[in-house]
Structure 1
Amino acid sequence: MSEDTPRFPAPGGPVGPLWVVTRGSGPPLVLLHGNGEDHHVFDKMVPALGVGRMLIGIDSRAHGRSPRGDGPLRIATMADDVAHVLDLLGLPAADLLGFSDGGNIGLELAIRHPARVRRLVVVGANLFPEGTSAWTLTGVRVMHRVVAALARVVPPLLVVAERFALMAHDPEIEPDDLSRVRVPTLVVTGERDLVRPEHTRLIVESIPGARAAVVPRAGHMLPTQAPQRLSALVAGFLAEPLPGALFGGTLEDNGTKT
């Protein structure tokens, strides 16, 4: 990271199409939140993750303080947004932590802009909507239909309907495309995550050298439900030398391989 990298301390500021908040100095770590959230979902993790790093919290388009922008609201488009923000910050590459839809964006970024990602941690990510449990997907699609219908008479709900559409019909990542992800990758889920365990295994097995980590007795909302445990996993992974991170295997909650 260059000393000339612009800083945007809280509450942050616009960087191209998105709202960005930065904290600290050192190797950059980009934080990407989930659907319907903003960068504050990581607030409980900032003290641990910010030691010796520059944290870059990004509000995805149509979330937080970032505007909706033009064109379709898609996970792939949001990944392109992140690459553009890194360009504007003068960062050729960065480590990345993505939660839920932010994890999906991180996967798309590693596929579409592979040189921009140094190390990748995805938490509660999925490749396509069917990767979530049946009851979750059914509920999301029902809500999408209801909100989309209401949006015809209440225009401000259009953006909310689009966010539901992201979960109901997006992303569309082919497992074969993950073979192009050649950076150290950690895939984290909660033991009671709404992402199906077999789907998480598919992600791990499709990325060369990827690791899996399961946080016991936790659900999907790991950044808020288990921030200390998740922070320990992420910090431990990012602390490893880059050449030694591609080993495969499984990580338990305490960070040891089995």
Structure 2
Amino acid sequence: MTPAAPPAEQHHSLLTPDGVALAYRLTRRGTPRPAVVLLHGMASNMTRWSEFVANTRLGEDWDVLRLDLRGHAESISHGRIGMDVWCADLAAILDAEAIPDAILVGHCMGANLALHFADRHPARVRTLVLIEPMYREALTGTLARSARFRPLISLAVPALRLMARLGLYRRKLPPIDLAKLDQEAREHIAAEKAGFPSQRYASPLEDLRHFPLVAYVQDMLAVTGPLPPPESIRAPVLVLLSQGSDFASPTLTARLLESLPAGRIEQLDAEHWIPTEQPDVMRTLIEQWCDQHRRQDSDQQI
């Protein structure tokens, strides 16, 4: 018998009580199944996961959900955002889709959000996959400097929100397709025989061409904020770290994560953008991790 084709991804929107439309896409066949939720990073959007969704086999056995966090892309908002808001939004989406718990997969700021959600809603998290989590103690370069100036940066947020309420913000922002950007980066590396074009991926000016300033500043505060202590996370955790140190020290990050009660750490040959630089290896590791925990669930039900 020929296996059934994976179900098509469907676009959804959830209106929050304060009037923000949260955009997300869901791959589901029939009734709800165990779910994998994909969380993007700072100044990013759900297209960070377009290539993964197009190539993964997870949709055969899992519901796969990816979303634009509030303040990003199709979930546009010029109001307050941050870990507490995103955790509440994620819980609301899971409720709306009848998902009692999920495997959370997060990149960069999305990994930090996964940790916060697991700390606040432990019963709703099966396992975590953290791709480049950003511990404040391990930050380097621009993010380390931003962390030192968090109190000053936070002072700008009320003024930016007030300006937005008064209508003083850009009405049209060109969208960015991160899957397309990733492909262009790989073509550049192949053609020029050069290293990874970090300047395109790590430029605030480039980010702000596509992203509201009020959201960007709040993203910066979120990614440089404190994280729950590793020992408070009870869910099994797969951590994927790059060998690069432009944003965070991989050695110190791994050391901080050693106290995870059920953790496994893999280090990949990448600068920081593992979904861009090592998409196939990343996908395989995530699929194997999900397979492993699905088998464990089946064994426990016997």
The answer (yes or no) to whether the contact 2:239–2:266 under 8 Å persists in 1 is: yes
The answer to whether the aligner puts 1:67 opposite 2:76 as a matched pair is yes
1:223 alignment partner in structure 2: 275
Q: Cα offset for 1:139? A: 6.8
1:155 alignment partner in structure 2: 168
Aligned mates of 2:8, 2:86 — CA distance in 1: 20
The answer to whether the aligner puts 1:173 opposite 2:238 as a matched pair is no
Q: Cα offset for 1:103? A: 0.6
1:14 alignment partner in structure 2: 13
The answer to whether the aligner puts 1:45 opposite 2:52 as a matched pair is yes
2:40 alignment partner in structure 1: 33
Residues 1-258 of structure 1: matches in 2 within 5 Å?
Answer: 9-10=9-10, 12-17=11-16, 18-25=22-29, 26-46=33-53, 47-48=55-56, 49-68=58-77, 72-128=80-136, 130-138=137-145, 155-156=168-169, 159-168=212-221, 170-175=224-229, 178-193=230-245, 194-216=247-269, 218-241=270-293
Q: Larger C-alpha radius of gyration, 1 or 2?
A: 2
Residue identity over aligned pairs, in percent, reads 24
Q: Cα offset for 1:244? A: 6.5
The Cα offsets for residues 3-57 of structure 1, whole Å up to 9 and x where unpaired, read as xxxx9944x1212442110124442110100111111101111122434221101
Three-state SS of the structure 2 residue aligned to 1:239 is helix
- The amino acid of 2:117's aligned partner reads L
The answer (yes or no) to whether the contact 1:100–1:124 under 8 Å persists in 2 is: yes
The answer (yes or no) to whether the contact 2:274–2:282 under 8 Å persists in 1 is: yes
Moved more, 102-111 or 44-53: 44-53
- The amino acid of 2:168's aligned partner reads P
1:254 alignment partner in structure 2: none
Three-state SS of the structure 2 residue aligned to 1:29 is strand
- The amino acid of 2:90's aligned partner reads V
What is the root-mean-square deviation of aligned Cα atoms in Å? 3.2
- The amino acid of 2:50's aligned partner reads D
With the length of structure 2 as denominator, give the TM-score of the two structures.
Answer: 0.66
Q: Cα offset for 1:208? A: 0.6
Q: Cα offset for 1:230? A: 0.6
Q: Cα offset for 1:191? A: 1.3
Q: Cα offset for 1:65? A: 0.7
Q: Cα offset for 1:202? A: 4.0
Three-state SS of the structure 1 residue aligned to 2:272 is coil
Three-state SS of the structure 1 residue aligned to 2:217 is helix
Moved more, 131-140 or 199-208: 131-140
Aligned mates of 1:126, 1:202 — CA distance in 2: 13
The Cα offsets for residues 205-251 of structure 1, whole Å up to 9 and x where unpaired, read as 232121111112x1211112221111011111111146969xxxxxx
Which is helix-richer, 1 or 2? 2
Aligned mates of 1:211, 1:224 — CA distance in 2: 22
- The amino acid of 1:113's aligned partner reads H
The answer (yes or no) to whether the contact 1:110–1:117 under 8 Å persists in 2 is: yes
Three-state SS of the structure 2 residue aligned to 1:240 is helix
Three-state SS of the structure 2 residue aligned to 1:50 is helix
Unaligned stretches of 5+ in structure 1? Answer: 1-6, 246-258
Q: Cα offset for 1:141? A: 8.0
Unaligned stretches of 5+ in structure 2? Answer: 1-6, 17-21, 171-210, 298-302
Q: Cα offset for 1:73? A: 1.8
The answer (yes or no) to whether the contact 1:141–1:168 under 8 Å persists in 2 is: no
The answer (yes or no) to whether the contact 1:61–1:69 under 8 Å persists in 2 is: no
Aligned mates of 1:205, 1:171 — CA distance in 2: 20
With the length of structure 1 as denominator, give the TM-score of the two structures.
Answer: 0.77
- The amino acid of 1:14's aligned partner reads S
